[in-house]
């Protein structure tokens, strides 16, 4: 089990291979559907003018994301009324919805790690090779277990996106995941997809 | 009419935090089938530790507490209007207590209501008057990841060589499981409805998931197809979380509906391993949970 500390440097990223189990420690941010669309529309493709606190949020997350990690997660959070936030349940959400955005986000912010579930496609895999970066797979549904590794909630941005969609800044210790897409073009998801496709074709040929 | 809000709150807490025994037993059997040291086995071991922790701490098994889907079977004399109000109050309170994540998002504005109360369809509540004396409320929490990999086919489907018979049904269901890969949080349970219109077919494919894993359809031909689909889906080798392995699905449940001559729908609802369904029964003063 490799112990990794965020921010992640090139050497660490290049040493990671598909199948490696890891424990991540450091500061990461959550971001899913609304966040990815907001990042790309407002600051990468610039099809939308920055509004409200957009610029301040951008400046704040920019430093966190250099060599940093984005976690595809919509947590259950307690302490919403007192702002004494605590992650109660925090497993990964399906990453493939961020496929249209993820590669551009990784390049723009120099993000080195993406955590989610279900894997991602060729655009993200290409970005993993360029940046370089890796995709870490967390166990889907293991939300109470993973929430234990979130030691503190350091802050939240864009809470108006809703609790699941907000950008939560969290300090984690020994967050468990497996590398399923690496910076050398390896993807466990592409491999399983191909193998299972061959079996499916055999099964479809049977009566 | 008595107020069941507190009891319904307990039903929601149970559903979100305490995985049903049949599902947990099935996951424990699945661990033994995976190779020691494999990523698939590791995922199942983490899943089981999570199940125990969630039960112990009364915290959600999965952070996506899904769409709450209620089926209320009520004896004559109960007010469905009041029951609906009580269910909605319990949902809001369960959200405040972190048993549920605020999940109701306005489709146009993108605004999250913050308390899991949306329009008349959120939470989803079905009412049916029954001849018995007992009132029963079934609840399923179905997450978005697995809902997104559900599929509906209109047969015949020439790309898959699927005609309008059970052989065709088999082919499209296997295709749906393949397309889902690990994205629906495998190992899942497959709910299948044959027939109906698009709406009733999808609904029936979810309703069949209220049955326990070892409950069998009385139709012998469908029961044989359920077994075959489970075996063949597992041959795909997608495995827990899509990491590869022996267990891709925990089971298959099939139901059938009347259809129009022109239509032959096959609807597939994928239920993730976090197969959260619970039931409460009210007989006189006694409320029990299962």
Q: Which residues of B touch A176 (CB under 8 A)?
A: 46
Closest by alpha carbon to A75, among A135, A159, A143?
A143
Instruction: Give the integer Cα–Cα distance in Å for B230 and B223.
Output: 11
CB B280 within 8 A of CB B136: yes
Q: Do B179 and B116 reside in the same domain of the chain? A: no
Tokens 């007992």, residue? B134
pLDDT of residue B270: 98
Q: Which residues of B touch A117 (CB under 8 A)?
A: 145, 182-183, 185, 241
Query: Any CB–CB contact under 8 A between A198 and chain B?
Result: no
CATH number at residue A167: 3.20.130.10
Could B105 and A142 be called an inter-chain contact, meaning their C-beta atoms sit closer than 8 Å?
A: no
Could A145 and B49 be called an inter-chain contact, meaning their C-beta atoms sit closer than 8 Å?
A: yes
Instruction: Give the integer Cα–Cα distance in Å for B284 and B122.
Output: 29
Indicate the helix (H) or strand (E) that contains B152. Answer: strand B151-154
| Tokens (6 digits) for A9 | 């440097």
pLDDT of residue B245: 98
Beta-strand pair A69-71/A113-116: parallel
Residue B212: which domain range?
Answer: 145-271
pLDDT of residue A56: 97
pLDDT of residue A207: 81
The chain B residue lying nearest A165, using CA atoms, is: B112
The chain A residue lying nearest B96, using CA atoms, is: A78
Residue B29 in this model has a pLDDT that exceeds 90 = yes
Residue A143: which domain range?
Answer: 2-205
Q: Which residues of B touch A147 (CB under 8 A)?
A: 59, 63
Residue B279 in this model has a pLDDT that exceeds 80 = yes
Q: Which residues of A touch B243 (CB under 8 A)?
A: 137, 178, 180, 188, 192
Q: Which residues of A touch B271 (CB under 8 A)?
A: none
Could B42 and A141 be called an inter-chain contact, meaning their C-beta atoms sit closer than 8 Å?
A: no
Query: Any CB–CB contact under 8 A between A126 and chain B?
Result: no
Task: Report the mean per-residue pLDDT for chain A.
Answer: 97
CB A187 within 8 A of CB A142: no
Q: Do B189 and B248 reside in the same domain of the chain? A: yes
Q: Let me know if residue B22 belongs to a domain.
A: no
| Segment B147-161, tens digit of pLDDT | 999 999 999 999 999
**Contact residues for B181 (Cβ-Cβ < 8 A; gap 6+):** A118, A119, A189, A192, A193, A196, B238, B242
Q: Do B209 and B225 reside in the same domain of the chain? A: yes
Could B61 and A162 be called an inter-chain contact, meaning their C-beta atoms sit closer than 8 Å?
A: no
The chain B residue lying nearest A116, using CA atoms, is: B183
Q: Do B126 and B174 reside in the same domain of the chain? A: no
What Rg do the C-alpha atoms of chain A give, in angstroms? 17
Q: Which of B43, B44, B64 to mutate to test the interface with A (most CBs of A within 10 A)?
A: B64
Q: Number of structural domains, chain B?
A: 2
| Segment B126-140, tens digit of pLDDT | 999 999 999 999 999
pLDDT of residue A204: 97
Instruction: Give the integer Cα–Cα distance in Å for B231 and B243.
Output: 18
Distance from CA of A193 to the nearest CA of B (A): 7
pLDDT of residue B102: 97
| Segment A7-43, tens digit of pLDDT | 999 999 999 999 999 999 999 999 999 999 999 999 9
Could A143 and B54 be called an inter-chain contact, meaning their C-beta atoms sit closer than 8 Å?
A: yes
| Segment B60-86, tens digit of pLDDT | 999 999 999 999 999 999 999 999 999
Could B63 and A73 be called an inter-chain contact, meaning their C-beta atoms sit closer than 8 Å?
A: yes
Residue A104 in this model has a pLDDT that exceeds 90 = yes
Q: Do B128 and B10 reside in the same domain of the chain? A: yes
Q: Let me know if residue B20 belongs to a domain.
A: no
Encode B250-277: b = buried (16+ Cβ within 10 Å), e = exposed.
Answer: bbbbbbbbebeeeebbbbbbbbbbbbbb
Q: Let me know if residue B26 belongs to a domain.
A: no
CB B22 within 8 A of CB B213: yes
Instruction: Give the integer Cα–Cα distance in Å for A88 and A92.
Output: 13
Q: Let me know if residue B33 belongs to a domain.
A: no
CB B103 within 8 A of CB B67: yes
The more confidently predicted of residues B244 and B1 is: B244
Distance from CA of A140 to the nearest CA of B (A): 6
Could B174 and A203 be called an inter-chain contact, meaning their C-beta atoms sit closer than 8 Å?
A: yes
Q: Which of B95, B162, B241, B246 to mutate to test the interface with A (most CBs of A within 10 A)?
A: B241
Residue B272 in this model has a pLDDT that exceeds 80 = yes
Q: Let me know if residue B82 belongs to a domain.
A: yes
pLDDT of residue B20: 98
% of chain B at pLDDT higher than 70? 100
pLDDT of residue B1: 77
pLDDT confidence band for A89 (50 / 70 / 90): very high
The chain A residue lying nearest B229, using CA atoms, is: A203
pLDDT of residue B253: 98
Q: Do B128 and B158 reside in the same domain of the chain? A: no
CATH number at residue B285: 3.30.360
* Total Cβ atoms within 10 A of residue A11: 7
Could B112 and A161 be called an inter-chain contact, meaning their C-beta atoms sit closer than 8 Å?
A: yes
**SS3 of residue B269 by DSSP:** strand
The chain A residue lying nearest B147, using CA atoms, is: A94
pLDDT of residue A68: 98
Q: Number of structural domains, chain A?
A: 1
pLDDT of residue A174: 98
Does the pTM surpass 0.80? The reply is: yes
Q: Let me know if residue B38 belongs to a domain.
A: no
């Amino acid at each position: 089990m490799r112990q990794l500390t965020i921010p992640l440097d090139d050497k660490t990223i290049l040493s990671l291979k598909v199948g490696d189990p890891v424990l991540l420690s450091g500061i990461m941010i959550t971001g899913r559907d609304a966040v990815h669309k907001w990042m790309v529309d407002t600051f990468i493709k610039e099809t939308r003018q920055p509004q409200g606190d957009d610029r301040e949020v951008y400046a704040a997350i920019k430093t966190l994301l250099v060599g940093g990690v984005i976690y595809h997660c919509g947590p259950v959070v307690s302490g919403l009324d007192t702002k004494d936030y605590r992650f109660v349940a925090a497993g990964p959400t399906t990453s493939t919805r961020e496929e249209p955005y993820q590669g551009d986000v990784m390049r723009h912010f120099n993000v080195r790690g993406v955590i989610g579930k279900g894997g991602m496609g060729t655009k993200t895999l290409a970005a993993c090779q360029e940046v370089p970066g890796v995709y870490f797979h967390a166990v889907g549904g293991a939300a109470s277990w993973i929430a234990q590794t979130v030691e503190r909630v350091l802050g939240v941005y864009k809470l108006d996106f809703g609790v699941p969609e907000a950008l939560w800044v969290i300090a984690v210790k020994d967050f468990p995941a497996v590398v399923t897409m690496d910076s050398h073009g390896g993807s466990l998801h592409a491999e399983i997809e191909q193998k299972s496709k061959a079996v499916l074709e055999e099964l479809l040929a049977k009566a | 009419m008595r107020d069941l809000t507190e009891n319904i709150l307990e039903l929601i807490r149970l559903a979100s935090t305490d995985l049903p025994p049949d599902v947990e037993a099935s996951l424990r059997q699945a661990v033994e089938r995976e190779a020691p040291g494999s990523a698939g086995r590791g995922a199942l071991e983490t899943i089981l530790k999570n199940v125990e922790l969630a039960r112990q701490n009364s915290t959600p098994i999965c952070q996506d507490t899904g769409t709450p889907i209620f089926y209320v079977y009520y004896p004559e004399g109960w007010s469905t209007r009041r029951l609906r109000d009580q269910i909605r109050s319990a949902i809001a309170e369960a959200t405040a207590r972190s048993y549920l994540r605020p999940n109701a998002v306005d489709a146009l504005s993108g605004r999250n209501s913050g308390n899991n109360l949306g329009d008349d369809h959120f939470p989803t509540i079905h009412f049916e008057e029954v001849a018995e004396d007992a009132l029963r409320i079934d609840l399923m929490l179905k997450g978005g990841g697995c809902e997104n990999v559900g599929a509906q086919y209109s047969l015949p489907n020439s790309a898959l060589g699927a005609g309008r018979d059970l052989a065709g049904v088999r082919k499209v269901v296997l295709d749906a499981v393949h397309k889902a890969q690990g994205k629906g949080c495998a190992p899942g349970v497959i709910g299948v409805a044959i027939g109906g219109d698009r709406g009733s077919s999808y609904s029936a494919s979810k309703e069949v998931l209220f049955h326990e894993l070892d409950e069998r359809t009385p139709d012998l031909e469908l029961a044989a197809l359920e077994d075959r689909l489970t075996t063949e889906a597992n041959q795909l080798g997608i495995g827990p979380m899509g990491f590869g392995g022996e267990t891709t699905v925990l089971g298959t449940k099939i139901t059938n509906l009347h259809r129009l001559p022109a239509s032959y729908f096959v609807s597939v609802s994928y239920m993730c391993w976090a197969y959260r369904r619970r039931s409460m029964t009210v007989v006189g003063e006694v409320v029990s949970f299962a």
